[in-house]
Amino acid sequence: MRQRNNLIYCCCFLFLFSCEKKSENLIVSEVINDSIIAKGLYNGNQKTGIWEYVDTNGQIFEIVEFKIIDNKSYYNQSVSFDKKGDTIHNKTSFFTFNFLNDYLITIKFISLFDKYYDDQNGTVLLYSNQINDDFSNLNKVKFDTVYLKNNFLKMNLKLNKLRGIIKEFHFDSDSSYISREVFIEIDENSKNFPILNNTGNM
């Protein structure tokens, strides 16, 4: 009995220690509000990479990409689904890309503001090969700027990679605007943001 109690104590200690200090690249499941399960990756104490959010029926209702930007976890790309597994467009923002050859690439951006379908939206790409891996030097970089027509872009890559920011805007009638930034990082090893089909599967 004493040996069993010692075993239980050791298991509890290891569990508490793993929760207290999340090691690099640790995959975890978290319970939120007793009903939502979040599955994803930690780097230190920062969320990073792809996270899935699952409801009580085991259905994924949101997929989020977190990026470590200047030592902070940033909610970068996301796609949300209704109970039928269809995309909820006004809660979705991500980009896809396709290499046509080693240096020519196409980028398609799915915008939070697509629901407005008017001329008051704008999307631009700010990019530079001088951006640090953690995007910590953005205020020191001189960007090249290109506009996305209908949220689509075809461009040549320098050094076979692209690092920058997609900025989307929606302008209101009173000349105010709302905006959002999506950090983009593409090279020959990059993969597109994972999207579920309408059956709820990858």
- Rounded Cα distance between 109 and 94, Å, is 6
Q: What is the DSSP string of 13-78?
A: HHHHHHHHSPPTTEEEEEEETTTEEEEEEEETTEEEEEEEEE-TTS-EEEEEEEEEETTEEEEEEE
Domains and CATH numbers, the chain: 23-92 (no CATH), 94-193 (2.60.40)
Q: Give Cβ neighbours of residue 146 (< 8 Å, ≥ 6 apart).
A: 124, 125, 127, 153, 155
Residue 137's SS3 state is: coil
Residue 195's SS3 state is: coil
Q: How is residue 184 written in tokens? A: 């983009």
Closest CA to 97 of 56, 125, 119: 125
Per the CB < 8 A criterion, the answer to whether 34 and 46 are in contact is no
- Rounded Cα distance between 155 and 178, Å, is 27
Q: How is residue 91 written in tokens? A: 């809660």
Q: Which amino acid is at 32?
A: I
pTM of the model: 0.77
pLDDT digit string (tens) for the chain, length 202 residues: 444 344 333 333 333 333 434 445 666 777 777 778 899 999 888 999 999 999 888 899 999 999 999 889 999 999 999 988 888 888 888 999 999 998 899 999 988 766 554 556 789 999 999 999 899 999 999 999 999 988 899 999 888 889 999 998 877 777 777 788 999 999 888 999 886 544 444 4
Burial class from Cβ neighbours inside 10 Å (0-12, 13-18, 19+) for residue 21 reads exposed
